[in-house]
């Protein structure tokens, strides 16, 4: 009897999380689907990549290593990070370019005097669950929405839990002037209480101007989307180009390697600064995440003058050592002409860029 009750409780909990939990976000209604159907990337109710992108299940041996989590996959000690000083960030003059990286893919950018927060995830886990799933590393300084300055723009690259977080959006929704998101992601934000008029959706290669000062261009990547068991690829994914009067910045988000980086570099670049995905890779899913050597090459093809590797240093979503992405990238980057920047989380970087020590080896 007790076993039956236990099984029933587990099934009930799973049903709640996978069908009712607000973290799952919203569903696109008929009006929204009519908009999605106008996209060339939307076919038979799903978005698709520009080239064949196999999504086979990981090998059993990979899964065993992933769930066993040896001591190299996540740091066993507290990582020394930097306190984020928003007064210093406010003080950056409008003609300067500045940024702060908060680990993984969360970046705060000051470009042309506009504060842009990209893929903000400040919660404890990159997961649907509060009690399981990838847990953030132990930082000496953790970051919250309350520590952020006034945010003009939030950019979302896609709807995975390590890029779009329910709790963070709840905390941000009344503190941000406007949200720019891929097609289909509007439904999530509206479900969480963001006002419709504060949301703009973009398709690949669409562009929009914010406050007559900042041009935003949404460009393709090779990835996928989905927050539940049954909604894969119902929303779009992509990268962002951010252009002011004086500077150009690229944010790659997640992608397997393909010729899009060269295309974006030729069409929109050169870029003063590029944030490039570099982490959570494995041969089992090489079509949707780049190896560090591919990431370094992509940065060169973008015609980037300075490059910051992201998507590492906060969550363990693969089986490689947590230091492996930055060690491999830094070695490969020496072959190219761009400046390699790897600041500790929370540090404010202002152009002209200062050298960044190897904080991961401290």
**pLDDT digits 0-9 by tens, 188-221:** 999 999 999 999 999 999 999 999 889 999 999 9
| Torsion, CA 273, CA 217, CA 125, CA 134, rounded to 10 | -70
Task: Give 135's DSSP letter.
Answer: B
- Using CA atoms, how far apart are residues 100 and 95, in angstroms rounded to an integer? 17
For the chain, percent of residues with pLDDT exceeding 90: 83
Q: Which two tokens stand for residue 312?
A: 């590492």
**pLDDT more than 70, % of the chain:** 94
Tens-place pLDDT, residues 19-62: 679 999 999 999 999 999 999 999 999 999 999 999 888 888 88
Q: What is the pLDDT of residue 208?
A: 98
Q: Which residue has the tokens 């990286």?
A: 101
Element (H, E) at 251: strand 248-251
Reported as a single tens digit per residue, the pLDDT across 301-310 is 999 999 999 9
Q: How confident is the model at residue 84 (pLDDT cuts 50, 70, 90)?
A: very high
How much is the pLDDT for 330? 97
Residue 132 has pLDDT above 90, yes or no: no
From start to end of 119-198, where are the E strands?
A: 151-155, 176-182
Band of pLDDT at residue 16, cut at 50, 70 and 90: low
Please report the domains of the chain, with CATH numbers, ordered by start residue: 25-361 (3.60.15.10)
* pLDDT confidence of residue 229: 85
Q: With residue 327 as reference, give the H or E element that holds it.
A: helix 324-333
CA distance readout (Å), 22 to 137, 191, 228, 230, 269: 25, 8, 11, 15, 39
Instruction: Record the tokens describing residue 147, joined without a space.
Output: 């520590």
Tens of pLDDT, residues 224-270: 999 998 899 999 999 999 999 999 999 999 999 999 999 999 999 99
Rounded Cα gap, residues 302 and 158, in angstroms: 21
Strands 107-111 and 114-118 come out as: antiparallel
176-191 as b/e: b if 16+ CB within 10 A: bebbbbbbbbbbbbbb
- Of 279, 23, 9, the C-alpha closest to 165 is 23
Cβ neighbours of residue 15 under 8 Å, at least 6 residues apart? Answer: none
């Amino acid at each position: 009897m007790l076993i039956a009750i236990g099984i029933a409780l587990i099934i009930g909990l799973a049903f709640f999380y996978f069908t009712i939990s607000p973290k799952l976000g919203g569903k696109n209604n008929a009006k929204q689907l009519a908009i999605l159907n106008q996209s060339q990337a939307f076919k038979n109710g799903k978005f698709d990549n520009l080239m064949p992108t196999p999504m086979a299940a990981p090998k059993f041996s990979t899964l065993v290593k992933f769930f066993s989590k040896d001591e190299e996959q996540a740091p066993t000690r507290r990582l020394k990070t930097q306190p984020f000083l928003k007064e210093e960030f406010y003080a950056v003059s409008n003609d300067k370019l500045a940024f702060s990286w908060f680990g993984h893919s969360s970046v705060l950018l000051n470009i042309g005097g506009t504060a842009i927060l990209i893929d903000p995830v400040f919660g404890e886990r990159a997961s649907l669950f509060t009690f399981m799933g990838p847990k953030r590393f132990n930082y000496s300084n953790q970051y919250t929405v309350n520590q952020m300055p006034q945010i003009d723009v939030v950019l979302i690259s896609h709807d995975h839990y390590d890029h779009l977080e329910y709790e963070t959006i709840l905390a941000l929704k009344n503190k941000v002037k406007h949200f720019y998101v891929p097609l289909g992601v509007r439904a999530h934000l509206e479900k969480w209480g963001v006002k419709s008029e504060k949301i703009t959706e973009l398709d690949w290669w669409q562009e929009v101007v914010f406050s007559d000062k900042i041009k935003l261009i949404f460009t393709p990547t090779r990835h996928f989307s989905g927050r539940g068991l049954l909604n894969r690829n119902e929303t779009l994914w992509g990268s962002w180009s951010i252009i002011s009067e004086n500077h150009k910045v690229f944010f790659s988000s997640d992608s397997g390697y393909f010729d899009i980086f060269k295309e974006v570099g030729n069409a929109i670049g050169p870029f003063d600064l590029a944030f490039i995905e570099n982490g959570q890779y494995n041969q089992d899913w090489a079509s949707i995440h780049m190896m560090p050597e591919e990431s370094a090459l992509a940065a060169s093809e973008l015609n980037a003058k300075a490059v910051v590797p992201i998507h590492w240093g906060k969550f363990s979503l693969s089986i490689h050592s947590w230091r492996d992405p930055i060690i491999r990238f830094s070695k490969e980057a020496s072959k190219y002409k761009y400046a390699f920047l790897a600041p500790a989380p929370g540090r404010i970087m202002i152009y002209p860029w200062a050298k960044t020590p190897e904080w991961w080896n401290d």
